[in-house]
Every structure is written in structure tokens, then in C-alpha cells.
Amino acid sequence: MGKGRYLLKRFVYIVFVFFIISILMFAIYKSMPGDPVDIMLGDSKTSMKPDAYQALYDKTVKDLGLDKPLPVQYVAWMGNMLTGEFGYSTQYKQEVINIISAPMINTVLLNILTMIVVFIIAIPLGIVTAVRKNGAFDKTVQVVTIVGYSIPTFIVALLAIFLLAVKFPIFPISGVKSAGLNATGLEYVLDRLWHMALPVLVMSVSGIGGITRYVRAAMIDVLRMDYIKTARAKGLREKTVVYIHAFRNALIPVVTITTWWVVGLFGGSIVIESVFLWPGLGKMLIDGLLQRDFAVVLTMQMFYVVLSLAGNVIMDIAYTIVDPRVRLED
């Protein structure tokens, strides 16, 4: 089976998984407390006459298709979701689609930056500790990383705030940019980065801990292989052996774990956004739940589901790139 067909098969399968999860989401949607029609009509219940209100109510029920059987409702709902009609936010008094772009950019920015930081630090660190395994440096890194990935992110956040924002006020405690700043260009970018420093630092800690250990373990496994011995015997430079021959093969397990980590990172950023008052999707989800603004909640949920499935797709694609054996799979 070729790579293309393998990917196609995986893609069809992912669509199937999406379908199953979307049924689950629809169940959540239907079990949400409160009558959606009452919520939509808002104040008119008190301001209108009872029979006029009842007529309006019935009309809205019909318009929304709530009188139809559940499967029909599901299809309609799914259609809306796929075309970007996520519903009306009672909290922002707007269509949800109009208000999610800014928080989405904030969250994605935060997570991408974290990913970059983590990969830049964790991968070289993992390789170096694998090559110099059991040395003093390796042992130290081992202890530090186990602490790093064990400690809950919100505790790291509290410690970071205490040290870097309260005791030594280097970074701001919360927010995305300085109040009243209307700089452009480089100054604006630097201000944004300055505000992102603390959340990114906190989110990187557990990622660096985990990924370093995985890279190290994968590299050690690979460095024991016969073909590494062969490569060395050929007289290749050690750098070539480590970074070309060994690392490429070590990537296979690393890709798996990295994908899970990235999906978890977005989920975990909910906590971080709530600590640092970062106006991203996670904070929007929590605010939505607290304000009982379920259209927003469901949209956020959809985002996380899509993200998780996209993670799966990316993992599959990455596999076919790094592991030529994948095509042999049936």
C-alpha cells in the first residue's frame, strides 16, 4: 500500500472519529441546562403578553427546527457547525463566529511560541544527554526534567509569578499588552513578547521536561543499533552519526509523543490562561461556562476536538515522512 492510500485511509477513519465525537457533542449540547428558546428570546418573556409570547415561542421553535426528530436536528446542527454558524453568544450579544478570531490568535500565538521554545531546548538537550549518558551533566538534567514534568503547571505558574513578577518584577503578572500603548512595529512586537514571556516560560517547563526525556530514551535505543556501529565503522564523523543517522530514527517515537503533547498543550493552556488572565480560547471557554453562554462553550469544544483530530492527521503525515516502513502497514 502506498503512502497516499495509507493517508487516505487514515483520513477517512478520522472523519469517522469526528462523526462519533460530534454525536457526543450534540448530546452535550442537548443536555445543557436552560431552554435555548427562552435564552434566545431573552427579555421578551417579561415585556410581552403571555399569548403573544407563546406564539413567538412556537414560531422560534419552528424556525430553529426544535420540533423535528433528533437525527434531523443533529444534521442541521452539524451543518451549522461546519459552515461556521456557531450560534449566538448571549454574553457578547454577537454571533460567536465574529468574536472568536482574537482569542484564537492569542491562544495559537501562545502555544506556537511555547512549542518553538520547547523544541529548541528539549531536542538538543535530549540528544546531548543521550550521547553523554550517565555523565554528571546527564544525571543533573535527568533530575531537573523529572521535577519539571511532574510539577503541575499551575504551581509552576504561581512560583514564576512569585519570583519573576512579584519579588523581582521583571515581567508583568497578566495581560497581553501594556495599557495605553499604541506603538507600532518592533516596539509593539517586543511589548507583546514581554507579556508572553511568563506564560510561555511556565508552559514550556513541563514540555521541556517530558520531551527531553523522550528524545533521550529514543536516542539511546537507536544509538545501540547495529547500523550505528556500522556508520561509525565506516569512519563517518560522530556528528553525522548522531544527527543524521541516529536522530532521524529516534524521531519516530518522538513524533508520537510530541503530537499528544501538542494536543495536551492546547488543553492545558486553559489553566495557564486562567492564571495569567490571557484572553484566549481557554479563558473564553471558562468564562462561557461561568456565564452559561453555551454557544461559546460548544464552539470552543469543537475547536479542541478539531485540534485533537488534526493532531492525529499531522502525526500520520509525520510518520510517513520519518518512517519509510509505514507504507508496509495494512
Sites of contact with other proteins (CB under 8 A):
13, 17, 20-21, 24, 28, 31-33, 133, 143, 146-147, 149-155, 158-159, 161-162, 165-167, 173, 216-217, 220-221, 224, 263-264, 266-268, 270-271, 274-275, 285-286, 289, 297, 300-301, 304-305, 307-309, 312
SS3 of 88, please?
strand
* Cell output for 112: 506556537
CB of 209 to other proteins, least distance (A): 10
Beta carbons within 10 angstroms of residue 234's beta carbon? 9
Cα–Cα distance, 290 to 285 (Å, whole number): 9
Q: Specify whether the CB–CB gap between 298 and 305 falls below 8 A.
A: no
Of the pair 75, 159, the CB lying nearest other proteins is at 159
Of the pair 170, 189, the CB lying nearest other proteins is at 170
Of the pair 90, 153, the CB lying nearest other proteins is at 153
CB of 20 to other proteins, least distance (A): 5
Of the pair 37, 302, the CB lying nearest other proteins is at 302
CB of 279 to other proteins, least distance (A): 15
SS3 of 242, please?
helix
CB of 216 to other proteins, least distance (A): 7
Of the pair 99, 297, the CB lying nearest other proteins is at 297
CB of 164 to other proteins, least distance (A): 11
Residue type, 184: T
β-pairing verdict for 88-89 and 94-95: antiparallel
Cα–Cα distance, 330 to 314 (Å, whole number): 19
Q: Specify whether the CB–CB gap between 316 and 10 falls below 8 A.
A: yes
CB of 219 to other proteins, least distance (A): 9
Of the pair 117, 305, the CB lying nearest other proteins is at 305
In the block, residue with C-alpha cell 512579584: 166
Q: Reduced to 3 DSSP states, what percent helix, strand and coil does the chain have, rounded to the nearest 5? A: 80, 0, 20
